[in-house]
Amino acid sequence: MEGQNKEFEEKIVLNILGFSNILKQINSTKEDLIRFWKSIGFTPNGKDEYDIPLFIKKAGLY
């Protein structure tokens, strides 16, 4: 049941964010949010102009 909940959560979040089959990039400094983004497939991608870590998810990976 736990796996189903995670899959459901991922679908809701991705739908809310309007994800489509294009490259997506987000930034975050909060550890709990970073863990969440990583759990749905985002990977580190450097830092932005404010030195905030960036995370990326490429098309077709969700």
pLDDT at 19: 53
pLDDT at 59: 65
Q: pTM for the full model?
A: 0.56
For the cut 80, the answer to whether the pLDDT of residue 37 exceeds it is yes
> Kind and range of the H or E element at 56?
strand 53-57
Confidence of residue 26 (pLDDT cuts 50, 70, 90): confident
